[in-house]
Structure 1
């Protein structure tokens, strides 16, 4: 079985073929492949080295993203877990899939689910969860200034969710906040896990306490989002806590958390949408998410409007400035016909 570096080297051996497959909207220009971004948009911001000592390396001048071709596979396919990225790379290279070792199988020792598709594993994980109310995850969100999280069916609690260290392969388990990722029809496509400190000290003390599993591209965690009815006005953003903070003071507006800036840019807007409020972080990746979704909205005849926090993000606004000031700040940014959707809480 090839290691991560070996997979990246194998992909780099035929970098142009990788680009033609995953970045088909781009073109070859000398020793580079030029394209708009990792979402395969037309443009010239992202370039991949096709020859020389940096063959297979890429960078996006607009967002600051960079990496090797294994990173490119991850971003273009909307994958999170390294195991899924490696499987996709092996599929492209026609490498055989590794047989899962007995100590690494499934979501628990002795389980055989590791060979299942990621979306199926995500649905299996959801079946092991409990309602959020009164759990450690509910208390965690309350500590973040979000008291009504248990009202959202998309949020669940797992008392002992397995966590795998990607460097060592070692497995442990922690309680976790589980968010359900769904597609336009409401079908479950994945989950997002936030591992928590069992003693109530916030997130678990691990290298990466947030990971997604399954299909994120075009999909999202949905809050107060009707499946079969038109959604004329909605809000979309990156992180769970940021969107939950907005939902706290705008309980009448359907919202989605796309979980990352790249997935925000690729979110599939619902039919009948007239206005979308885009709430993203103010860093380079956040701006990329805003610009990407704005372009998609405008192409569909949907008006994109940007919501900006006063501080770093909307959860920081809620915790440090309070819900009343957050509500006033947001109301000033809404279209007049939408101002009634923002309530002023004490």
Structure 2
């Protein structure tokens, strides 16, 4: 948390009960705690906000016993007001602090409802709450996979404490995560993919499923190098983000899209004016359906579809184990000659 954020949280803690009466109006005081259903001001008792500083911790800290979520009063303002940008949260906190004893919210008054879990709006909010990857654990993770991308790529963000829920036990924890935006061709965020990372920097987190997607994915993808309104006569598409990012490393001027799954690859919406489509395959046959269906759809639209095949398991394996030079040489024989000259990095 930045110094300004820490100061705002501390000042809000000095008026913790007034903050709760304003933003968690469906709760009530019980001893040294404000009790409410959750951080989005739902009726209930599972969330406890400490109202005065004690040996257990500072005023304003809260925990939700039902979900294991925790945070401070800035989080309360963000979630209860459905704000997505820290600047908006800080502005609202400063507005409140200029009048620290507001009257309780009238019964029946409703704030804007929280975004539905798994919706495009939830994806947009999470992406907005994340930060650029430069200098973060996400950048280190990608570099460890051999993936060095231009800082101009706007699809990637980092979240230092992204919630992960175990689908079997229901337990929740917060872990750092690489956030990749899934967008439509007009760059509107429709979903995202989260890759939870080991806080020690040793690759992905040790989870049963460290990568999950949410939102509206069909027809959309994680686009790298897509500029609004710019023509895309040649592009590449595939299932996995790391596969497509690896191709982007050795073909930095090529627009690529990761569809996140074989079924979504089959339904990827191709940009108007596209003449040639390279489809990245893995060594196994798991994604064959997606490749065949996308090739068929491309052909029906007058687009030449060509399949690119790796030497090892996938193109990230090629990049890491063989190096960018050998990967580029391997791809050179699979590309149309003019594309090899245009897109392959000389180094």
Same fold (TM over 0.5): yes
TM-score w.r.t. structure 2 length? 0.67
Deviation at 1:184, TM superposition (A): 1.7
Q: Does 1:343 pair with 2:341? A: no
Following the alignment from structure 1 to structure 2, what is the Cα–Cα distance between the partners of residues 115 and 236? 30
Q: CA deviation at 1:266?
A: 0.7
Alignment of 1:217-296 (within 5 A): 217-296=218-297
Instruction: Please state how far the C-alpha of 1:151 moved relative to its aligned partner.
Output: 3.9
Give the match for residue 331 of structure 2: 330
Deviation string for 1:50-97 (max 9, x for gaps)? Answer: xxxxxxxxxxxxxxxxxxxxxxxxxxxxxxxxxxxxxxxxxxxxxxxx
Using the alignment, how far apart are the partners of 2:271 and 2:229 within structure 1?
10
Q: How much does 1:209 deviate? A: 0.3
Q: Report the alpha carbon displacement of residue 292 of structure 1 after superposing the two structures with TM.
A: 1.1
Mapped partners of 1:178, 1:286: distance in 2:
23
- Counterpart of 1:285 in 2: which secondary structure? coil
User: Which aligned segments of 4 or more residues in structure 1 are displaced greater than 4 angstroms?
Assistant: 99-112
Deviations 1:240-271 (A, max 9, x none): 11111100000111111111111111101110
How far off its partner does 1:117 sit? Answer: 6.0
Deviates more, 1:145-154 or 1:205-214: 145-154
CA distance, structure 2, for counterparts of residue 344 and residue 251 of structure 1:
11
Structure 1 residues 206-256: Cα deviation after superposition (integer angstroms, max 9, x where no partner):
110000010110000000112212211000011111111100000111111
Q: Secondary structure at the match of 2:129?
A: coil
What is the rounded CA distance, in whole Å, between the counterparts of 1:312 and 1:150 in structure 2?
Answer: 28
Conservation of the 8 A alpha-carbon contact between 1:219 and 1:268: yes
After superposition, the Cα gap between the structure-2 partners of 1:198 and 1:150, relative to the gap in structure 1 and judged at 3 Å, is farther
Partner of 2:300: 299
What is the deviation of 1:186? 1.2
**Whole-Å Cα distance in 1 between the matches of residues 43 and 204 of structure 2?**
29
Distance 1:165 1:149, change over 3 A: farther
Structure 2 distance, partners of 1:117, 1:147, is: 30
Q: Distance in 2 between matches of 1:318 and 1:271?
A: 30
Distance 1:215 1:139 in 2: 28
Deviations 1:273-297 (A, max 9, x none): 0000000223232111110110110
Contact in 2 for aligned 1:181/1:189 (Cα 8 Å): yes
- Counterpart CA distance in 1 for 2:158 and 2:301 is 37
What SS does structure 1 have at the residue aligned with 2:260?
coil
How many pairs does the alignment contain?
247
Distance of aligned partners of 1:214 and 1:310 in 2 relative to their CA distance in 1, 3 Å threshold: same
Which shifted more, 323-332 or 101-110?
101-110
Task: Say whether residues 1:139 and 2:134 are aligned partners.
Answer: no
Aligned partner of 1:62 in structure 2 is none
Is 1:181 equivalent to 2:182 in the alignment? yes
Structure 2 regions of 5+ residues with no counterpart?
1-41, 47-63, 81-113
**Alignment partners' CA distance in 1, 2:337 and 2:150:** 27
Query: For residues 69 and 151 of structure 2, what CA distance do their matches in structure 1 show?
Result: 25
Q: CA RMSD in A?
A: 2.2
Q: How far does the alpha carbon of each residue in 1:109-156 deviate from its partner, in whole angstroms, 9 at most, with x for none?
A: 875736356101001101110111110000001011112264421111
Secondary structure of 1:262's partner? helix
> How far apart in 2 are the matches of 1:186 and 1:108?
33
Q: Match for residue 12 of structure 1?
A: none
